[in-house]
Amino acid sequence: GSGLATAALGNGLCLAVLIYVTAGISGGHLNPVVTTAMFMTKRIGKRRLFVYLAAQVLGAITGAVFLRLTLPPPFLDTPFVTRGSLTAAHPVQVLLLEFICTFVLVYTVFATVCDETGKAKNAAPLLIGLSVTVGIFAEGPFTGGSMNPARSFGAAMAFLNFDHLLIYILATFLGGVLAGMCYDNLFLEPQTEEDPGRYDEPDQA
């Protein structure tokens, strides 16, 4: 292993860069729980929800497969599926940790992107990336630090190893959707079809 700091900073900064380069195209979601939270708070419509989810999952699988193909065999002895020291023996604790860290991530997205009174503008991607960095520092050794169901699913598909995957999918979706709905109901104006909000207009459905 190259260390927790490398994993935390590498993942966080990579996410920030990817958000910067995709924000103008799609809003820079890159995470199914962010997209689902945007849908649940009426910031995107059904058609865009399904297109984004499909792209995120397909991208995660493709990236994981390419990574597996490019690594030499000795590096594949330990599959890079989402797993930490608590995963096998303490699934409830893993669920809680992933729930909390994903909640913080999506809460940060809504606070820096969706809230007109507190928008971080060009700094938003960096702050979102830092929230992932903090999450990996906090939970990485114990859970593997997912906070993104596509990341966990893509690696599971690449290695055909689906052990404990359901915990990560459930925890991240619950934490992310709850964060978005809490911030939306507590701090933001209700969204309507006439007032679609930051990301895009709701699809006609």
Predicted confidence (pLDDT) per residue in 8-44, tens digit: 999 999 999 999 999 999 999 999 999 999 999 999 9
Residue percentage of the chain with pLDDT more than 90: 82
Model pLDDT, residue 198: 44
Structure tokens at 194: 């006439």
SS3 (DSSP) at 195: strand
Q: pTM of the full predicted structure?
A: 0.91
The rounded mean pLDDT for the chain is: 91
Q: Where are the alpha helices (DSSP H) in the chain?
A: 4-26, 32-40, 46-70, 91-109, 124-143, 149-159, 165-187
Q: Is the pLDDT of residue 203 over 60?
A: no
Question: What's residue 192's pLDDT?
Answer: 64
Query: Does the pLDDT of residue 194 top 50, yes or no?
Result: no
> In this structure, what token pair is assigned to residue 137?
């520092």
